[in-house]
Amino acid sequence: MSETRIQDRGEAETLRDVPHHKLAAAADKAIRGGVARPVAHDSAARHVTGAAVYVDDIPELPGTLHLHVATSSRAHARVAAIDLAPVRAAPGVVAVLSAGDIPGENDCSPVFHDDPVFAEGEVQYAGQSLFAVAAVTREAARAAAALARIEYEDLPALLTVDDALAADADLLPPHEMRLGDPEAAIAAAPRRLAGTIRVGGQDHFYLEGQIAYAVPGEGEDVLVHSSTQHPSEVQHTVAKVLGVADHAVTVEVRRMGGGFGGKESQPALFAAIAALAAKKTGRPAKLRVDRDDDMVMTGKRHDFRIDWEVGFDGSGRIAGAVFRQAARCGYSADLSGGIADRAMFHADNAYDLRAARIHSRRLKTHTVSNTAFRGFGGPQGMIATERVLDAVAFALGRDPLDVRRANFYPPGGGAVTPYHQEVTDSVVSEMVEELERSSGYRARRQAVRAFNAGSPILKKGISLTPVKFGISFTATHLNQAGALVHVYKDGSVHLNHGGTEMGQGLFVKVAQVVAEVFQIDLDRVKITATTTAKVPNTSATAASSGSDLNGMAAKAAAEAIRGRLVAFAAAKYRLPEDRIVFLPNRVRIGNEEMSFPDLVQEAYLNQVSLSSTGFYATPGIHYDRETASGKPFFYYAYGAAVSEVAIDTLTGENRVLRVDILHDVGRSLNPAIDLGQIEGGFIQGLGWLTTEELWWDEAGRLRTHAPSTYKIPTANDRPDDMRIAIWSKGENRAETVFRSKAVGEPPLMLALSAFSAIVDAVAAAADYRAFPDLDAPATPERVLAAVEDARRRAGFA
């Protein structure tokens, strides 16, 4: 039956029976590309040929203008005078935009109305947007911007966590979680320790920088192509800045060249400026941010200072712990509240602290407003926990693994977190036991000790650390997602949902889910660009929730259509619904079989709707801020890693020699994609903890704003020997999509094993007589200083 046949406006009521397609023999087997298969990334062929289109690759429309954003050179200053006349007069300039040109609200913040698109009167960080130039070329825009005459009157600037603590500069109110009476527990414990650890931030360095391309439409309408993890928020921000309704703005993104959290709130500024320029000039406008500008202008992972105290017994069992976390938020709130919360939610990592106080301060500084970065504060919370465990083990002269094990959340439940959620799904003991065996941890620890005894310059260290990561947005209402599925008359499927693709393989995973529901081959499901016009009011693709939420929403949409097909077939063939069974690429109806497209065509001819939205909201999660308690997480994802490292005690250089990883992804939707996430997460975490150092000068200017000064792991920094396994027993006890678990963020924290191993190696340099005082990142300078400090304290000459 031809396509035109069923579209034909033929005579009334002359529909003939649909001639059924011959069922292919291959259809007897499983479908190609269902769930749990290691299917290649949907864009694989396009990626290797250069045909994958990113925002900057969309063919430019005639008349497209290019934008450059001029920024503050001061950390904190009053803008006494600003003269843009020379900018306007420069060749090629079509428009110059500043605060006065904004028809709506001069704000691109996600929540708190504290991120002006263009600063007015006062600047609060070096790199803050002041005005933008739209010109015929990018070079003309940049050259013109440099002609502005700006007079600043400097104001005192707070640049570091310690500056802010000294000035009592809280940006947001502190928060505290409390379990039992930790102070009393610590006081009563046989042993006590206290310390401080500082951990640096991290630049996302998504390989595709921030970019937005705005195309003006009729009336108030504008279409914005934005490289964003959060199209709905970009839509809302653009509407707010333009002073129009959300429905006038469409935001679309097919894929990003990496996001890592840096394209959650940060793209709003660039999209708003591009849209403003487009509406102002009536011409398409593109803002592609240069790499240096991107690194200077956009927020990073929060750096933290964490002070800790712990009480424990002779076996290392913790009786109580106190963590005081201080986060550098930068000049505005952005997502800092949620990030600092998540750092608190992970101050226990996988350990039952029994009594705990987690205190958090969110500090204001005159630096860029820090933002989401894979792990969203969790890694910073955990690093202090792991430091505590290392310190306790060192004080007792025990293997840190034994001390860790003594404190794990028990598998049978019963223990609660500092925010009073019972941990019922702890598989950490079992996983660690398996990894200890498969990695040969004990023997290798012996070997490391033996090596160190005979090696005066090079020292090795080894460590096994666990990860327990809470899955769900901690702002409960964000745990919702929508999807839109169409089945066309030929049985091919169009899939859309609110999630965005940044390389994590979300699109292929969700498509696998839909293929599974319909029992059709994956190539029958078309993956389409995320757009606010198809699925509205979406949450950011963040918090590792992409597949959990969008997978469920797409599943619901597909199941709704499948349900209609079943009801139709049951009625037509007078069979109970359970006699209609979806088999690979076909449907069994009673004793007959029909291809999926044939059933679809019959349904169409019988006026059955073949399109559905789907919606999902995570059930049963909540958090009460007043009492700092609740069940903010639907479930936990677990993992563990063993890292073995070597340091050079003369230079501080360090290297990971081998890493063994065992990670829990529940029942993997796609093992190939999940393995990539685990490995990539580990490497990114390793960069954060060892080589990636952000450095601001005394004037508050970021001096590490290119890969030449900011060291991102290369092929050479990858550990020589990486052995990664997905935990074969993994299964999600919570009802998630096909019992899978989220995988985006948790593996990043596996890299804490490398940091602990470096601490172990530094201890070796002082003959295990002083516990190292090492902050992150463990750059050669810091390792060298820690070696010298430990040796001094150990009484080395």
Q: Which residues are catalytic?
A: 745
Tokens of 122: 């006062």
**Window 544-603: residues binding another protein (CB under 8 A):** none
What is the closest distance, in whole angstroms, from the C-beta atom of residue 672 to another protein in the complex? 5
Q: Which is nearer to another protein, 268 or 675 (CB)?
A: 675
What is the closest distance, in whole angstroms, from the C-beta atom of residue 262 to another protein in the complex? 10
Q: Which is nearer to ligand FES, 33 or 503 (CB)?
A: 503
Residues 6+ apart with CB under 8 A from 15: 605
Interaction between residue 679 and another protein (CB under 8 A)? yes
Q: Which is nearer to another protein, 259 or 337 (CB)?
A: 259
Residue number with the smallest Cβ distance to ligand FES: 207
What is the closest distance, in whole angstroms, from the C-beta atom of residue 6 to another protein in the complex? 34
- Number of residues interacting with ligand FES: please give it, by CB under 6 A: 3
Q: How far apart are CA 171 and CA 109, in angstroms?
A: 15
Q: How far is the CA of 342 from the CAs of 381, 491, 630, in angstroms? A: 8, 44, 14
Q: How far is the CA of 274 from the CAs of 94, 132, 421, 794, in angstroms? A: 13, 9, 44, 59
Interaction between residue 676 and another protein (CB under 8 A)? yes
Phi-psi category of residue 248: left, alpha or beta, with phi > 0 → left and psi -120 to 50 → alpha = alpha
Place of tokens 């985006």: 744
Gyration radius of the chain's alpha carbons: 28
Q: Within 13 Å, how many C-alpha atoms sit on residue 224's CB side?
A: 40
User: Of ligand FES, another protein, none, which one sits near residue 551, judging by CB under 5 to 8 A according to partner kind?
Assistant: none
Interaction between residue 639 and another protein (CB under 8 A)? no
Which listed residue (491, 503, 652, 666) binds ligand FES by CB under 6 A? Answer: 503
Interaction between residue 267 and another protein (CB under 8 A)? no
Interaction between residue 712 and another protein (CB under 8 A)? yes
Interaction between residue 261 and ligand FES (CB under 6 A)? no
Which listed residue (83, 139, 523, 735) binds another protein by CB under 8 A? Answer: 139
Which listed residue (207, 571, 650, 699) binds ligand FES by CB under 6 A? Answer: 207
Tokens of 264: 């959650």
Which listed residue (1, 36, 40, 99) binds another protein by CB under 8 A? Answer: 40
User: Directed axis angle between helix 546-573 and helix 596-605, to 10°?
Assistant: 70
Residues 6+ apart with CB under 8 A from 57: none
What does the H/E/C string look like for 413-479?
Answer: CCCECCCCCECCCCCHHHHHHHHHHHHCHHHHHHHHHHHHHCCCCEEEEEEEEEEEEEECCCCHHHC
User: Of ligand FES, another protein, none, which one sits near residue 119, judging by CB under 5 to 8 A according to partner kind?
Assistant: none
Query: Are 686 and 713 spatial neighbours (Cβ–Cβ below 8 Å)?
Result: yes
Interaction between residue 684 and another protein (CB under 8 A)? yes
**Window 231-250: residues binding another protein (CB under 8 A):** none
Q: How far apart are CA 370 and CA 393, in angstroms?
A: 34
Interaction between residue 258 and ligand FES (CB under 6 A)? yes
Go through 780-793 and write b for each residue having 16 or more CB atoms within 10 A of its CB, e for each that does not. eebbbbbbbbbbee
**Window 463-502: residues binding another protein (CB under 8 A):** 502
Tokens of 644: 């073995």
**Window 73-102: residues binding another protein (CB under 8 A):** 91-92
Residues 6+ apart with CB under 8 A from 440: none
**Window 180-209: residues binding another protein (CB under 8 A):** 204-209
Which listed residue (33, 34, 127, 258) binds another protein by CB under 8 A? Answer: 258
What is the closest distance, in whole angstroms, from the C-beta atom of residue 541 to ligand FES in the complex? 15
What is the closest distance, in whole angstroms, from the C-beta atom of residue 258 to ligand FES in the complex? 5
Q: Which is nearer to ligand FES, 258 or 747 (CB)?
A: 258
What is the closest distance, in whole angstroms, from the C-beta atom of residue 680 to ligand FES in the complex? 8
What is the closest distance, in whole angstroms, from the C-beta atom of residue 207 to ligand FES in the complex? 4
Tokens of 642: 């063993």
Residues that bind ligand FES (CB under 6 A): 207, 258, 503
